[in-house]
Amino acid sequence: MSSPLRLGVAGLGTVGAALLKLLDRQANALAERTGRRIAVMAVSARDRSKVRDLDLARFEWFSDPVALAGSPEIDVFVELIGGADGVARAAVEAALQEGKAVVTANKALLAKHGLHLGKLAESKGAALGFEASVAGGIPIIKTLRESLAGNSISRVYGILNGTCNYILSRMETEQLSFAQCLAEAQRLGYAEADPSFDIGGYDTAHKLAILTALAFGTEIAPDSIAVEGIEQITLADISAAAELGYRIKLLGVAARTAAGIEQRVHPTMVPRSSAIAQVMGVTNAVTIDADAVQELTLVGPGAGGMATASSVVADIADIARGLHVPPFGLPMASLTPPRRAALQTHEGGYYIRLSVYDRPGAAAAIATRMAERTISLESIVQRRRPGEQKGASAVPVILITHATSEKLIGEALKDVLADGFIAEPPQVIRIERE
């Protein structure tokens, strides 16, 4: 058996603690599978005195993760600190500078500095593994980088944030409001005290930026992503989706279109019979459309200490086995700047919920405005809410359009608004088909 692979682990939160336990538990199996023992030599965390369910006395302690990253005692630096900049970035750069392999679960770091870090790793001949940075325990990075090497990918999309999916799932199954489900998610530890990063779609956007680069061989471009969160989704939308054969999910979508690479994060109507619609609770899922394999979907835990540690260990095992693949699946210089498709050029179906003053001819006028923009309707539903009286000031009108463009939808809605039939701003949700 070869010499042990020596690790330094920085960050002992949920994932870091789970990683140390998993490496202990699987020590013999990993040695057998990789041909090397995997030995944690040193650790670093913000607070040494914090009570942890871990025996840390075995490891050298570094109060400075950057010093740990540069230590000659380690071969692999495992970064589980988090944050796009600051000490996480400094430590990862220090390790790569020394030619050490880096394994990280840090999506923010990758989304912001992945291009720079990939080039640094390449120039030093060092491995850079980040399986754990997207969709927790789901092996989506390896699948895109290795298993689909013979494919041309046209679209990758998925449920990449468990908090949002939990909230949307609970709203539907329990008929609770967004605010109630968010409070519940916070109570259960699925949502942060400040949940805006998750529910605003920004966490999904970081992960999507990484997937886009891998799928299309483009430089990471998080600023090209159109981001909308789930804060505006109401029970009325959830119920209307169910009635019309859809379910609402927060999706990250990257697609190759005639106009360029589309990257968008937003609440999405997916057909109720689709694989992605079945994914409930904190589970994540990613679907890839590609020319040879056609459609491939991976479903699994998107977060959690052990599930994320499983992906960290997968990267470590690859390094122990001597498997070395470029971080983004091809030489860094071959990554091309993405030709950004503006959201205005997006083509697809739309769900539109309007609150319409209950006057004769309102629905007909709306349908006419759509027709004037050549938008064809799959369905139009005007219905009073149960218990509502005829003559109520406003009634919901719900439209589902066939494929059209974002630009035409915007123009048609502007006309509808100008007609004065509408009591509230329209709710518009894009439809994503399999």
> Does position 20 bind a second copy by CB under 8 A?
no
**Least Cβ distance, residue 128 to a second copy (angstroms):** 16
Q: According to CB under 8 A, which one of 10, 208, 313, 319 is a site residue for a second copy?
A: 313
- CB contact set of 299 (below 8 Å; sequence gap of 6+): 138, 275, 279, 283, 284, 285
Active site residue 21: no
Q: According to CB under 8 A, which one of 297, 355, 368, 382 is a site residue for a second copy?
A: 297
Q: According to CB under 8 A, which one of 329, 348, 349, 396 is a site residue for a second copy?
A: 329
> Does position 345 bind a second copy by CB under 8 A?
no
Q: Which stretch binds a second copy (CB under 8 A): 7-15, 26-34, 89-97, 225-233?
A: 26-34
For a second copy, what does the binding mask look like between residues 155 and 194, x meaning CB under 8 A? ----------------------------------------
Please identify, using beta-carbon distances, which residue of 75 and 318 lies nearer to a second copy.
Answer: 318
> Does position 34 bind a second copy by CB under 8 A?
yes
Structure tokens at 253: 């979508």
3-state SS, 249-267, equals EEEEEEEEECCEEEEEEEE
Q: Which stretch binds a second copy (CB under 8 A): 113-121, 131-139, 164-172, 338-346?
A: 131-139
> Does position 321 bind a second copy by CB under 8 A?
yes
Please identify, using beta-carbon distances, which residue of 298 and 365 lies nearer to a second copy.
Answer: 298
> Does position 420 bind a second copy by CB under 8 A?
no
Cα separation, 134 vs 203, whole angstroms: 10
Contact 43, 8 (CB under 8 A): yes
**Least Cβ distance, residue 16 to a second copy (angstroms):** 14
CA distances from 198 to 160, 166, 268 (A): 10, 11, 16
Q: Which stretch binds a second copy (CB under 8 A): 194-202, 325-333, 343-351, 407-415?
A: 325-333
Please identify, using beta-carbon distances, which residue of 16 and 201 lies nearer to a second copy.
Answer: 16
3-state SS, the chain, equals CCCCEEEEEECCCHHHHHHHHHHHHCHHHHHHHHCCCEEEEEEECCCCCCCCCCCCCCCEEECCHHHHHCCCCCCEEEECCCCCCHHHHHHHHHHHHCCCEEEECCHHHHHHHHHHHHHHHHHHCCCEECHHHCCCCCCHHHHHHHHCCCCCEEEEEEECCHHHHHHHHHHHHHCCCHHHHHHHHHHCCCCCCCCHHHHCCHHHHHHHHHHHHHHHCECCCHHHCEECCCCCCCHHHHHHHHHCCEEEEEEEEEEEECCEEEEEEEEEEEECCCCHHHCCCCEEEEEEEECCCEEEEEEEECCCHHHHHHHHHHHHHHHHCCCCCCCCCCCHHHCECCCECCHHHCEEEEEEEEEEECCCCHHHHHHHHHHHCCCCEEEEEECCCCCCCCCCCEEEEEEEECCEEHHHHHHHHHHHHHHCCECCCCEEEEECCC
Q: According to CB under 8 A, which one of 292, 360, 361, 390 is a site residue for a second copy?
A: 292
Catalytic residue among 21, 207, 249, 414: 207
> Does position 433 bind a second copy by CB under 8 A?
no
> Does position 330 bind a second copy by CB under 8 A?
yes
**Least Cβ distance, residue 283 to a second copy (angstroms):** 8
Q: Which stretch binds a second copy (CB under 8 A): 113-121, 223-231, 303-311, 363-371?
A: 303-311
> Does position 242 bind a second copy by CB under 8 A?
no
Binding to a second copy (CB under 8 A) within 199-238 occurs at: 217
Q: With CB under 8 A, what is the number of residues at the site for a second copy?
A: 62
> Does position 310 bind a second copy by CB under 8 A?
yes
Q: Which stretch binds a second copy (CB under 8 A): 49-57, 64-72, 87-95, 327-335?
A: 327-335
Binding to a second copy (CB under 8 A) within 45-104 occurs at: none
Tokens 């980088």 belong to residue: 145
Q: According to CB under 8 A, which one of 84, 183, 236, 298 is a site residue for a second copy?
A: 298
> Does position 353 bind a second copy by CB under 8 A?
no
Return the active site residues.
207
Q: Which residues bind a second copy (CB under 8 A)?
A: 18, 22-23, 25-26, 29-30, 32-35, 131, 137-139, 142-143, 146-152, 217, 273, 275, 278-279, 290-301, 304, 306-307, 309-314, 316-318, 321-325, 329-331, 334
